Amino acid sequence: QIFSLHVNFITRNSYFFSSFLFDSSFDRLESINFEQIQSNTLIAVLSNLSSLPHLASLTIETSNIQEEINDIYRLIFVLPKLKYYRISFPNKCHSITLPLAVNNQCTSIEYLVIDHYCSLNELVSLISYTPKLRRLTVHKIKMNDSNITISPSITLANLNSIFLDFHQTTFNILEIFITEKFPNLKSLFIAGSDDITFLDAYRWEQLILNHFPQLEKFYLVYDDLLDNEEKYPRFTGRSNEFSSSFWIERQWLFEAEIKDTDIEYTICSYRKRWYDDIEDNIANRDVKHSTFTNLTFECVPSSMFEEVMPKEIERVLTITKIYHLEILEKKFSIPALIQVVNLLPDITTLKIHSLSTDETTELTLKELLI
């Protein structure tokens, strides 16, 4: 008996699979993974899967999906025992126009991974078919929803974990969406950019306290590009709010990384950091947790350092003070190090992986005394 099937459609000639029938010899099949499957083949194969009584997991990686997306979801939602479903394709597909589900259309899906472009209103339509959903992951949310409508009939009481990619959507839209119908969230992972409000610690604090007091895990990844300074204003709220008692009590750490010409901010659960052993020797744990913001440098071009780095550091400091600095850059020069330290007056610990000792470098007396 076959329990798992993994097929990579490396050839476009998929006539065999288009006409293949899953007979009684596949009765024990529980998991299927289709890679590089063409849309016409996919529709034909999906039409045949409802005869599999134990199929619990289905993963689809395809391309060039357009209007077929609606037929794909219709065929998925009639699979009787499906618990896990993942669909992935890179292109922007035709709009999803499925109507909201009625009671007899509800599926058994508990884990849903949507790795294709999808608006929030389209997502609302899809999750209306999945009332048993426990974990939802959406990688590419389209920026085309000014008004989000969630039907009162949609209740996801079992949903406890969400990953949402909001790189094309604002914080306000996120706030409206997640506060509607997800009352029992325990894990929230958000990726965002292009809206500095994602870095407003007070807004997050109020959102979590008022709507998700039971939240156990919170993850945020925010990408700030160098050219954002012209497109979007700098953060103008109170700085260092991610070191307030709200974040310390939950042991959710705020960090920043400057990589090339971009800044990545993250919030994640506490794990031991490189500077913890050092601080254990000089401060008690309560003091340490009030000053845990870390900044990392990596892959910063030396030719851009003098022009780019001060701007990026200044942008970081509008949001948080920096107490710990780790430099991953290879052969970081001493003048550059001095420049960085001067820009970060609150540093208590410094870790340098590779320092250039170019003897031709001349330092002034003032620099030597720093």
Asked, for residue 188, whether it belongs to a domain, the answer is: no
* C-alpha pair distances (Å), 335 with each of 300, 349, 356, 364: 15, 18, 10, 10
The pair of structure tokens assigned to 295 is 């900044």
Asked, for residue 234, whether it belongs to a domain, the answer is: yes
Check if the beta carbon of residue 9 is closer than 8 Å to that of residue 34: yes
**CB-based burial label for 10 (10 Å; 0-12, 13-18, 19+):** exposed
Asked, for residue 359, whether it belongs to a domain, the answer is: yes
- pLDDT tens for the chain, residues 1 to 370: 789 999 888 765 555 565 666 777 788 899 999 998 888 888 888 988 888 889 999 999 987 777 789 999 999 999 999 999 999 988 777 788 898 888 778 899 999 999 998 989 899 999 999 999 999 999 988 875 567 766 666 778 899 999 999 988 889 989 988 887 788 899 999 999 888 999 999 999 999 999 999 999 999 999 987 665 566 667 888 888 998 999 999 999 999 998 877 899 999 988 777 777 665 554 444 444 444 688 887 766 666 677 778 888 888 999 999 988 888 877 778 888 888 889 999 888 888 887 776 655 555 544 444 4
Asked, for residue 78, whether it belongs to a domain, the answer is: no
Taking each helix axis as running N to C, give the angle between helix 305-317 and helix 334-343, from 0 to 180 degrees, rounded to the nearest 10.
Answer: 20
Continuous segment of H or E residues that includes residue 313: helix 305-317
Asked, for residue 331, whether it belongs to a domain, the answer is: yes
Check if the beta carbon of residue 96 is closer than 8 Å to that of residue 73: yes
How many whole angstroms separate alpha carbon 119 and alpha carbon 141? 5
How many whole angstroms separate alpha carbon 109 and alpha carbon 17? 25
Residue 325: domain span: 228-370
- Phi, psi (rounded to 5 degrees) for 133: -60, 135
Asked, for residue 353, whether it belongs to a domain, the answer is: yes
How many whole angstroms separate alpha carbon 292 and alpha carbon 275? 9
Asked, for residue 332, whether it belongs to a domain, the answer is: yes
Side chain identity at 35, as an amino acid letter? Answer: E
How many whole angstroms separate alpha carbon 73 and alpha carbon 317? 46
* Domain total in the chain: 1
For residue 257, give the 3-state DSSP assignment.
strand
**CB-based burial label for 356 (10 Å; 0-12, 13-18, 19+):** middle
Asked, for residue 222, whether it belongs to a domain, the answer is: no
Check if the beta carbon of residue 53 is closer than 8 Å to that of residue 25: no
